[in-house]
Amino acid sequence: MSASLATRRTLAGLLAVGALIGAAAVPAAADDHRRDHRGPHSSIAIGDVENADRGRDQRALNREWVEVKNTGRHSVNLRGFTLTDRDGNRYRFQDLRLDGHSSVKVHTGNGRDTHRDVYQDRRHQIWDERDTATLRDNRGNVIDTESWGRRGHHHHR
């Protein structure tokens, strides 16, 4: 028993449409996998860096900062995240929820922590003219690095 020509053509058309839909779905699935591979904190990054002129007064220490920004829509709790310099100086974030599309400046000196500014409470500057800031998540995974110095800024994700 053979199927009619019209039935075979209809079946062939449906199979072709299914193949096209399947082919279009593969890049979307690959994109989702790539997003998952970057990790749950892919919207968190180091922003601007300001290493102030040398000085030991509190104003000089508070003019020195590294910005951590959230480029995503959803807030992220930075509890346990760390920010380190090339010499191993480390700042550990406490319970700080960084809203979507916002940032926080991590100042070297003393001050009162807010949602926009936090302070390391140090008495000496830590960010040198040539240095690297490294941001790690609460599991120690590198989220972002930013280097600056003789050859300008270099951003690595």
Residues 95 and 133 in one domain: yes
Cβ atoms of 83 and 66 closer than 8 Å: yes
In a domain, 155, yes or no: no
Which of these ranges, 34-38, 82-86, 116-120, has the smallest mean pLDDT?
34-38
Residues 106 and 143 in one domain: yes
Residues 30 and 49 in one domain: no
Residue 134, H or E segment: strand 131-136
Residues 111 and 138 in one domain: yes
Residue 82 CB partners (closer than 8 Å, separation 6+) = 90, 91, 92, 93, 135, 136, 140
Q: What is the CATH number of the domain that holds 68?
A: 2.60.40.1260
Q: Which of 35-39, 54-58, 147-151 has the highest mean pLDDT?
A: 147-151
Q: How confident is the model at residue 51 (pLDDT cuts 50, 70, 90)?
A: confident
Residues 20 and 54 in one domain: no
157 versus 122: the higher-pLDDT residue is 122
How many distinct structural domains can be found in the chain?
A: 2
Residues 87 and 131 in one domain: yes
Q: What is the pLDDT of residue 140?
A: 97
Residues 61 and 137 in one domain: yes
Tell me the whole-structure pTM to 2 decimals: 0.70
93 versus 22: the higher-pLDDT residue is 93
Tell me the residue range of the domain where 26 lies: 1-37
Cβ atoms of 91 and 83 closer than 8 Å: yes
Q: How confident is the model at residue 1 (pLDDT cuts 50, 70, 90)?
A: low
Residues 118 and 137 in one domain: yes
